[in-house]
Amino acid sequence: MQLVDWLITSGLLIFLLIVAYYTNKRTQSVADFLAANRCAGRYMLAVSGDMASLGAITILAWFEMYYKGGFSAAWWLMMTMPIATLIALSGWVIYRYRQTRAMTVAQFFEMRYSRNFRVFSGILCFIAGILNFGIFPSAGARFFIYFCNLPHSISIIDGYSVSTYPVLMAILLIVSLFFAFGGQITVIVTDFLQGILCNLLFIVIIIFLMYVFDWTVIKEALLIAPSNASLINPFDSHGVEDFNIKYFIILTFATFYNFMAWQGSAGYNCSAINANEQRMGRAIGTLRSQTHSLLFILLPIIVYAVMNHPKFSGQADQISISLERIDNEYLRSQMIVPAASCTLLKTGLMGCMCAIMLSAFISVHDTYLLSWGSIFIQDVFMPLRKKTIKPEQHVRLLRVSICGVAAFAFFWSLYFRQNESIFLYFAITAAVYLGGAGSVLIGGLYWKRGTTQAAWTTMIAGSILAVTGIIIRQIKPDFLLNGQEISLVTMLISISLYVLVSLFGKKTEFNMDKLLYRGKYADEKSDIQSSSNSVKDTILQRLGITKELSSKDKITYIACISWVFIWFCCFIIGTIYNLIINRKVSNSSWADFWHIYIYVSLAASIIVTIWLSIGGVKDMMGMFRMLKTTKRDHSDNGSVPLPKQDYLDDISETVKIED
């Protein structure tokens, strides 16, 4: 890192801090703090929502996966593309959830099941969330230490020194807290700006890597991979550890089952202007993610070539020496790409990469701090307290809870010993809540026969199974099932329990029209009802292209469908050809295919970045106009009032939330 690199990184941070300070003053109610007062448009949601899920630890997880699995992992990931896109386009879960007007999933659980179940599920969600979040600061801090070549200890006075690792973690968490304290308005605006800037930097780095590194050399390195562990031929990759076809089949199922259940970015699920904007934002987000995924594939592939091709033996030795200081083999594997990147990128681009990772660290940390902190207050503390408090007190409690989450993450990162890949750790810790939550959420939104008894049974069983899996993996790391497989078992058992208990328990039918504000319960805030419930629906209507969409919306939908359809067709045709017609497609031919894939993806990334940048800026201006003129409703605080609960005397009075 040279002076210009530090200037790029620090310049971005200063800009974001100024924006955070400005947007913080826009927060005037609990709804502002938790849901940006539902003023976000589709393009802001697409960019900021995607950036919120793109943490530094997530980038490291992608680096780790593609370094081990290469292009073969990218091929099997194509299998999940239609699932994710069809979910987004059809409005699966997200549309109905937004219709309920709930701020958190646990609030919906109270509306659908009971207040006690809300508290219980809120506790489970909070525990699973902070366990999952616990290693985030650790991974981010280690990246900066090895990428920026920071000293491992800092001298204080008289020869006394402290480790750089906890100090850097603390600094990064404090910066993230500053953003989280502004609430969802600050988070969504800063995440949007970071998303646009990172998109541009992604493209610059990708072009540089393609220009500097000869594809012929990369191809030669990939061709020397061991038999049954090919990085370019997915049908010769059965020996790839962890990230083989079995992993992606489970991932495909989990994408459908767990959609919206995970609350790491809960604020984004209720920030849209209406349900249609929420659905459109999710659909457009499927295109935006293509920009960063190309870098996450290309950089680890090039690093693999550097570490294995004789031409780069000198650089490989230098990288290996720097990694020897890490005694944990799992952490060492995560740091290969960051440690190698600092030898591959030139001055200026080092700063760009560092800025990307800093943005990714801040965006996911402020989002997760806000989500898990608010879930504890909204879904555990407030329902138990049962009394309404003033908005400024409510927000103060939320900020205290956010600080508590940050403190837990710091100490968990400091003392927890990781013994498996990041994505596998994510799967098993999330299953503490997700194992049962997927069934309870889907059943509650789509099945009027789903019962409260079934919800309790499913959630308890799912958490017990997942916790048992975590304990087993800590005691016996080489257990028969890895984290991903344990999560699958948990999900399948939970589904069976929810259905069986609902069918054979007490028979009840829930009033879905009242829950979704439709029929006689519709009001001025309700969405126009389409014909999506008709048995005469066309295929396009079932995909979400209904009469309520404008012509512009339909064009956007078709663009999203077309992009996914093209790559999914490649996957289907390629799979059939390799399994049935010609089982001996050469690795060289596969390498040529991936070369074309890179250029096509880069061209699409440039177009999507320009489109979303223009649309997002317009959305941001519109959001500020709405926040300036909208009267705050202080009863809109995430609570589900009991029949005799007292309300605030004046729910439309604007109250200024002091910093």
Q: DSSP readout, 539-555?
A: HHHHTT--TTS-HHHHH
Q: Token pair 């498996």 is at which residue?
A: 420
**Nearest-angstrom CA–CA distance, 363 and 562:** 30
- The pTM score is 0.76
**What integer pLDDT is reported at residue 655 of this predicted model?**
42
Output the 3-class SS for 437-468.
HHHHHHHHHHCCCCCHHHHHHHHHHHHHHHHH
Residues in the chain with pLDDT < 50? 528-536, 643-659
Task: Choose among 258, 265, 255, 259: nearest CA to 363.
Answer: 265
Q: Rounded to a whole number, what is the distance in angstroms from the first to the last CA of the chain?
A: 36
**What integer pLDDT is reported at residue 654 of this predicted model?**
39
* CB neighbour list of residue 647: distance below 8 Å, 6 or more residues apart: 388, 635, 641
Residue 124 has phi, psi (to 5 degrees) of -60, -45
3-state helix, strand and coil shares in percent for the chain, rounded to the nearest 5: 75, 0, 25
pLDDT in tens, 412-453: 988 887 766 777 778 778 878 888 888 999 999 998 888 999
**What integer pLDDT is reported at residue 176 of this predicted model?**
92
Domains in the chain: ranges and CATH: 3-419+539-629 (1.20.1730), 420-520 (no CATH)
Please count the other Cβ atoms lying within 10 Å of the Cβ belonging to residue 514.
12
Q: Which two three-digit tokens encode residue 459?
A: 């959630």
**Nearest-angstrom CA–CA distance, 541 and 256:** 19
**What integer pLDDT is reported at residue 634 of this predicted model?**
66
Task: Choose among 388, 450, 392, 389: nearest CA to 108.
Answer: 450
**Nearest-angstrom CA–CA distance, 138 and 360:** 14
* CB neighbour list of residue 289: distance below 8 Å, 6 or more residues apart: 50
**The Cα angle at residue 518 between residues 514 and 524, in degrees rounded to 5:** 110
Average pLDDT, the chain: 81
**Nearest-angstrom CA–CA distance, 372 and 359:** 20
Q: How many CA atoms lie within 13 A of 45 on its CB side?
A: 28
**Nearest-angstrom CA–CA distance, 105 and 441:** 8
